[in-house]
Amino acid sequence: MSSPPVRLSTLLVLALLFTAPATSEVTFWRDQLSEIPLPAPPENEADPALRAAFDALTRQRLPEAIGSFEQYFARGGNTAYARASFARALFQAGRRAEALEQAEAAVVLAPGEANYALLRSEILHQSGNDAAAIDYLRSAVFAYNADPSLEFQLAELLYTAEQYEEARFHYMQTIFYADRGGSSASSFKSVAYLRVGRVFLRDGNLEEAGRFYDLYVGENPYGFQARFIRAVHVNIPLGRYERARSDLEQLARAPESELGEQGIPYRQVLYYLNQMRFVFRSVDLQASLALAAQAPEGLAPLERAIGHATRQEDQEAVRLLTSILRADRLDFVAWRVLFFVLARSGEPEIRARALYEATDHALGNARFEIARDFLEALDGLKDTNPDVSISRTALAEARVRLYEGLGQYNRAALSIALAEQSAQSEGLGQNAELANALRLLRASIFSRESVGRLESARRACAGILGASGDQAARSYWVCGHVEMAAGDGDAALAHFNAGIEQAPNSPLGYFYRALAHEARRDRESMFGGLEQALEHDSGLAPALNYYGYELSQENRDLDRALDMIRRAVEQDFINGHYLDSLGWVYFLKQDLPRAEYFLQAASMLLRDAGEEEPVVLDHLGDVQRALGRELDARRSYDQALRLLGERLASGNSRPERLVHLDRELRESLRAKISELN
């Protein structure tokens, strides 16, 4: 059985982003000056100005703290811990150059105290001068020989600067020197194991990566994220299936909520665990089939399909597997066996048709990661066997649906143009079914705010409404979304009602109708529609997220809201909108570290997808402000205000209701920034 490829993009998201702030894990970067431990002033400190300065700094009254420090120094006071604390106060007040001068003074006054060197390098880093921070730390690690905290900080900066070989050296130095230190040094060593494993994994050296993940898991048995990476990205590609299965079975026994908090969807654990069980079960499958030869129909369909696959009876295996997946779209073992069969088939035409059917089925059931695997295999097959009957137009259309499902709307819009060009070049321009399918995709994607081609979307809708067959319900739903984007809630509601008549058992129709009620400011009907959607599918992720977020907007039933949103995140843990909802609920529940963590993740993911959202940055700024980090909060608010200005000035056609909300958010941001000045 072929092993799944190591996807570095997925790995880095898991390894760097979704390490939840729990006691068994350490976040990637120390991003608060206040986290650097400095010597406290003596308990019997007699100087009243210095006592007042520390008290004001503790309470985040920065102008008062700065004034008291200045009084202390004016009277001749000159201690390293006072200079370092003054540096913190100045930096948080935005006076970076003065903060750096005070940190340098602390280093001069206490040349043997490594934490003052850490403070100086951190000010350089947070001022955006990583090159200077790296140069300073390179000299500091020699001046403060055998200090693991400096080695670790230098390694982290080097890694972010993509200087991986030198970063690995200093992570190794961290481990070496930490063995000589106390309990605080051992925490650096533990995290350094994880980092070195990450560097080796990035370089493709799975053997060495596995060795360091082993060391980390040995010291952190509840480090579920590291255990998951070790199983999926090290042991499975190396063929160490027994070790992978052991890790996955332990993860499957862990509380589902704890896995979700560390960024590991429980379904993914079950997916890979089922894959491992298939590997071991297939070893003696021939013997079990021989025993059941008298009554083969007595075997479960999946067992029969595996039997056909084992005997190289690929067409029969594909037939059985696709019938299984029509009945249960979440049968992870069936998906992987199907992919295994299709990847090895020797008949290009059979293989191409089966791959296309599997791609279409995966897209239709929102299994976008699996659909991407199938589509990549199909693209490669078409390149090497151009005579297979699957057209380039069909491939382009599938790619549009994939990008739409992944939320990459600008890429989807480009792919529509390619699909239409392919249709003309392949003589399919007069194919009515294909033309309707492309119009449907055009309407769906062009109405997205990031694409901003609403009139084109409406023209596409005019050509597809009233279609019959499988596309009828989706046509009404897509055109309902177009009217939502145009600000016509009544027209959208009519379309969604018509779609429900075509597909009364589809939970999506009820979810879409709930959105239309919200657009019409009928919140009671909105909540009723969400309840209907969840009655039809209790695990419908968009409805769970929307319901939970709307409860949080009313600041009620927060425990229920949190449960709903976490269930949505577990299904799609790289959805920035879901993570924003999760972070916001944690903020309302006053769990500020988790709130900041998930909101930072949401902001990063949406930015990388080209869908950056001002309200997420507003949420992040509120959390940073509550944590006392006013400079970071100001930075988030400024960025949100910039994005809002660009959106309001873009001229894109948007519903007046949304424009009004943007204007309200702009005024709120201006007020918050004014309060911080």
Give tens-digit pLDDT for 573-620.
667 889 899 999 999 999 888 888 788 878 877 886 677 889 999 999
- Compute the distance between CA of residue 418 and CA of residue 413 in angstroms, rounded to an integer: 9
Per-residue confidence band for 346, with pLDDT thresholds at 50, 70 and 90 = low
Highest mean pLDDT among 425-429, 455-459, 612-616: 612-616
- Taking only the tens place, the pLDDT of each residue in 20-50 is 222 233 333 334 444 455 555 555 556 788 8
Mean pLDDT value across residues 171-181: 76
> Do the Cβ atoms of 14 and 241 come closer than 8 Å?
no
Q: Domain limits of the chain?
A: 8-221, 391-464
DSSP-assigned states of every residue in 579-641: HHHHHHHHHHTT-HHHHHHHHHHHHHHHHHTT---HHHHHHHHHHHHHTT-HHHHHHHHHHHH
Helix axes 348-364, 368-384, angle to 10 degrees: 160
Q: What is the mean pLDDT of residues 189-206?
A: 85
pLDDT above 90: percentage of residues in the chain: 13
Q: Which CA distances in Å does 261 have to 247, 367, 540, 595, 666?
A: 18, 22, 20, 11, 32
How far is residue 429's CA from residue 419's CA, in Å, rounded to a whole number?
10
CATH for the 8-221 domain, from 3.40.50.920, 3.40.640.10, 1.10.3720.10, 1.25.40.10: 1.25.40.10
Q: How confident is the model over 238-282, as pLDDT tens digits?
A: 777 778 888 888 888 888 788 887 778 777 777 677 666 555 544
Per-residue pLDDT at 23: 26
Contacts for 624 with CB less than 8 Å, ≥ 6 apart: 596, 630, 632, 633, 636
Q: How far is CA 431 from the centre of its chain?
A: 39
Q: How many helices (H) and strands (E) does the chain have?
A: 36, 0
**pTM beyond 0.85, yes or no:** no
Rounded mean pLDDT, 354-368: 72
Q: Give the length of the chain.
A: 677
Please name the residues in contact with 250: beta carbons below 8 A apart, sequence gap of 6 or more.
227
Contact partners, residue 432, CB within 8 Å, separation at least 6:
none
**pLDDT tier, 106 (very low <50, low <70, confident <90, very high otherwise):** confident
Checking if the pLDDT of 549 tops 80, the result is: yes
What pLDDT is attached to residue 525?
A: 93
Cα separation, 168 vs 150, whole angstroms: 14
pLDDT of residue 666: 92
Confidence at residue 287, expressed as pLDDT on a 0 to 100 scale: 38
What's the confidence (pLDDT) of residue 5? 29
Q: How far apart are CA 356 and CA 391, in angstroms?
A: 10
- Position 13 confidence tier, pLDDT thresholds 50, 70, 90: very low
Q: Who has greater pLDDT, 82 or 384?
A: 82
Please give the pLDDT value at position 447.
55
At residue 145, the pLDDT reads: 62
- 177 vs 330 pLDDT, higher one: 177
Task: Quote the percentage of the chain above a pLDDT of 70.
Answer: 71
SS3 298: helix
Angle between helices 130-143 and 148-160 (to 10 degrees): 150
Give the pLDDT confidence of 490-505 residue by residue, as tens digits: 888 988 898 888 888 8
| Whole-number average pLDDT of the chain | 75
DSSP label at 297? G
pLDDT at 625: 93
Q: Is pLDDT of 545 > 90?
A: yes
What's residue 558's pLDDT? Answer: 94
What would the mean pLDDT of 107-114 be, rounded to a whole number?
A: 73
Residue 271 Cα distances to 1, 59, 249, 361, angstroms? 15, 49, 11, 18
Give rounded-to-5 percent helix, strand, coil for the chain. 75, 0, 25
